[in-house]
Amino acid sequence: MDSEPLLQQQLDHHQSLAYSNHSSSKILTLPTVLTLGRVAAVPLLIFTFSVDSWWGRTATTSIFMAAAITDWLDGYIARRMRLCSAFGALLDPVADKLMVAATLVLLCSRPLNIAVFGQVPWLLNVPSIAIIGREITMSAVREWAASQNGKLLAAVAVNKLGKWKTATQMAALTILLATRDSSLGETGILVASGVIFLYLSAGLSVMSLVVYMEKIRKIL
């Protein structure tokens, strides 16, 4: 008597697994579309940054903030709805690095004049080089680890230090983009805080790289 409901539950379970596997095998899932949107937003960000008006500055900040939100949102949706895919996992870090690298280069192209720091042409260049250099290095290391064994791949998995790096990085770039708007009034303290966050992010980037390398050294 009880075997029929049990059999039905098992069938429902297998159908749900088959559906989730089918969904994850698709290339254009919802998380992947969001990630592609971030990639497409990079040239738009470059264009709005070059527009010397209030709407250009507002649009640039809005685009970056939307990209930062979708960076979290696509991962959440992929895990929640079981829509993870190999293509999405490959594209997601690429989209993040493109957006961050483009924003850093754009900010470096227009040196800041902050009362606290004075006129320092290399103020943003140093942390930007550290952050971009770290991302390039880690991309190469993760690609190499993926071709080796599971232990090495686990050693370079994202840790809490990397998450703090990303959080401070997003905060710094959002502040530095937003404070370009002269309509906000006196923004000296905000800009200074953005620079401090950027240097903190650069420090965490280098520190996390050292941690990853140390883990790899112990395995090898």
Alpha helix segments (H runs only) across 109-187: 125-146, 150-155, 160-178
CA distance 36 to 131: 23
pLDDT (0 to 100) of residue 115? 61
For residue 18 the two structure tokens come to 């088959």
2-21 per-position pLDDT tens digit? 444 444 444 444 444 344 44
For the chain, what is the mean pLDDT?
Answer: 82
29-87 per-position pLDDT tens digit? 888 888 999 999 999 999 999 998 888 999 999 999 999 999 888 888 888 888 777 77
Q: Is the pLDDT of residue 168 over 50?
A: yes
105-158 per-position pLDDT tens digit? 999 988 766 666 666 778 899 999 999 999 999 989 988 888 887 888 888 888
**CB distance 215 to 155 below 8 Å:** yes
pLDDT (0 to 100) of residue 188? 73
Alpha helix segments (H runs only) across 26-159: 30-50, 54-80, 86-108, 125-146, 150-155
pLDDT (0 to 100) of residue 79? 82
For residue 135 the two structure tokens come to 């991302």
